[in-house]
A and B are shown apart, each in its own frame.
Chain A
Amino acid sequence: AQSVDQPDAHVTLYEGASLELRCSYSYSAAPYLFWYVQYPGQSLQFLLKYITGDAVVKGTKGFEAEFRKSNSSFNLKKSPAHWSDSAKYFCALEGSNTDKVVFGTGTRLQVSP
């Protein structure tokens, strides 16, 4: 079975601060990991993915994420945060030997000016 946990339902910070959104996963084989962003009233947009290779992957909008096999995490980072980053962020996992993608419950990020 595969699962994704985003332990923080809400994160609030001020513009200019560093943001880190947490994501942990459970999967017995090699995972494919993704981050998506959903702005209010909109659909989900792809940010970045980890398939293999370098543990730090860079994506769109200045975001990056670090894959850590040792603690099964794939945290999303950005510095500095901007008020326009306010949105809901979803971590997702696709097993290397399955067709299904499992999404976390999401973290709502609010960046205050």
Chain B
Amino acid sequence: EAAVTQSPRSKVAVTGGKVTLSCHQTNNHDYMYWYRQDTGHGLRLIHYSYVADSTEKGDIPDGYKASRPSQENFSLILELASLSQTAVYFCASSPGHSDYTFGSGTRLLVI
């Protein structure tokens, strides 16, 4: 069954440390996205990609980097984690101009 798999499911990181969130899709979709969700808020787009080896900035890219080494994999990298980056992170894939398939989310706590 086609799916989007995120790892880890949850993580505790130390302020200033490096964090890598991984996303793998088996949907054969061109587009992949990283969103963050904060308590009481909607989803905000961090980075996205429509082809391997290329990434685009979303609406809130500061403090985040993204990497798309293959069509199936899309990583989100926090080089210097900060308290304000505590949130739930969702990865999604889409064929473009169509509905998303979301991963189950990664709950990140920065202390």
Q: Point out residues on A near B: beta carbons under 8 Å.
A: 6, 32, 34, 36, 42-46, 49, 51, 90, 94, 96, 99-106
Whole-angstrom CA separation of A96 from B97 in the bound complex = 7
A35 to chain B: closest residue by CB: B99
Q: Which residues of A contact B74 (CB under 8 A)?
A: none
List residues 79-100 of chain B with CB under 8 A from any CB of chain A.
Answer: 90, 92, 94, 96-100
Whether A46 contacts B99 by the Cβ 8 Å rule is yes
Whether A43 contacts B104 by the Cβ 8 Å rule is yes
Q: How far is the CB of A99 from chain B (nearest CB, A)?
A: 6
Number of A-B contacts (CB under 8 A): 52
A-B contact pairs, 22 of them (CB 8 A): A6-B42, A36-B102, A43-B90, A43-B102, A43-B104, A44-B43, A44-B90, A44-B92, A46-B101, A90-B42, A94-B97, A99-B48, A100-B48, A100-B59, A101-B33, A101-B45, A101-B94, A101-B100, A102-B45, A103-B35, A103-B43, A104-B42
Whether B98 contacts A49 by the Cβ 8 Å rule is yes
Interface of A is mostly: strand
A106 to chain B: closest residue by CB: B42
Q: Point out residues on B near A: beta carbons under 8 Å.
A: 31, 33, 35, 41-45, 48, 50, 56, 58-59, 90, 92, 94, 96-105
Q: Which residues of A contact B33 (CB under 8 A)?
A: 101
A47 to chain B: closest residue by CB: B99
Q: Which residues of B contact A51 (CB under 8 A)?
A: 97
Most chain B CB inside 10 Å of its own CB: which residue of A42, A43, A94: A43
Whole-angstrom CA separation of A103 from B4 in the bound complex = 19
Whether A103 contacts B42 by the Cβ 8 Å rule is yes
Whole-angstrom CA separation of A101 from B98 in the bound complex = 10
Q: Which residues of A contact B45 (CB under 8 A)?
A: 100-102
